[in-house]
Amino acid sequence: MSSSTYPRRRSTHVIPNHFLLLLGIPRLLTLASQPSQYAHRVHLALDEVKAEYVTHNIDLQAKPAWFLEKINPEGTIPALSYGPKCAPDDPSPEAAAIPESLVILEFLADLFPNGGILPPNDPVARARARLLVAHFESVFTVAFKSAFYEGKSPQLVLDALLEFQARLPKDGFALGAWGMVEMSAAPFLVRTWMLLEHDFGHYPVGEGTKAWEALSKEDKFTRVRKYVEDMKAYPTFRGSWDEVRKLSVRS
């Protein structure tokens, strides 16, 4: 199953088509997929640095040859192409093609050193951010995939959340200001709440809502609940997330 497609139960999500997105200066072209939490990371970074970019749809179920040949032979999105202006489906041979959401975030941090992705001129803070992102990627995203795509228990997600929470400061964002940690984590965390609440996933029916109730009510999740609320309220994030549209449900 494509990892960009949420498992469905009882009713069907209407999820918009996949797409490819482009960015300027001289020209950054990113290939993404709207339901993709990985592509969402890249959008958050692009919006934070106020990059100019253009979005182009791509269908992961029928990947065009030019995408595989010229952008990313691995076939995953997001991917970013940085180079001279040209048609989205005909990237310049001089353009650099960069896949992997976290590598793209690092690339954007290099391109826009004062753009708010990583703190400039503070190697220790940058290392702390990277360590948290590495932890999130190796623990939380693995639990997320296991529960929502592979039918394992949502308890794995709750356990991973507690591990991540233990690494957060008492309040605020991971390093105080919004940055790479939030850009990497927010797309997964908001989807976690949404998918559990609506019991979407391959785990047994009812386990999602049960986990969501624990997340919503139990004191041990208070810190991470507040963290997610703060992320949802952050302007760049708010502009990127339309839960109602994502949840448009038809019976």
User: Contact positions toward ligand GSH, by CB under 6 A?
Assistant: 2-4, 33, 36, 38, 60, 75-78, 100-102
How far apart are CB 215 and ligand GSH at their closest, in Å?
23
Nearest in space to 55 (alpha carbons), one of 16, 89, 28, 21: 21
Nearer to ligand GSH, 36 or 55 (CB): 36
List the one residue out of 102, 45, 44, 105 whose CA is nearest residue 232: 44
End-to-end CA distance of the chain: 22
Q: Are 230 and 172 in contact (CB under 8 A)?
A: yes
Phi-psi region of 75 (alpha: psi -120 to 50; beta: other; left: phi over 0): left
Supply the minimum distance, in Å, between the C-beta of residue 118 and ligand GSH: 17
Taking the complex as a whole, the smallest distance from the CB of residue 221 to ligand GSH amounts, in Å, to: 26
Residue 36 contacts residue 77 (beta carbons within 8 Å): yes
Of the pair 36, 192, the CB lying nearest ligand GSH is at 36
Q: Which is nearer to ligand GSH, 33 or 192 (CB)?
A: 33
Half-sphere exposure of 242 (CA within 13 A, CB side): 8
Q: How far is the CB of 13 from ligand GSH (least distance, A)?
A: 14
CA distance 14 to 76: 22
Per DSSP, 176 falls in state B
Q: Supply the minimum distance, in Å, between the C-beta of residue 165 and ligand GSH.
A: 22
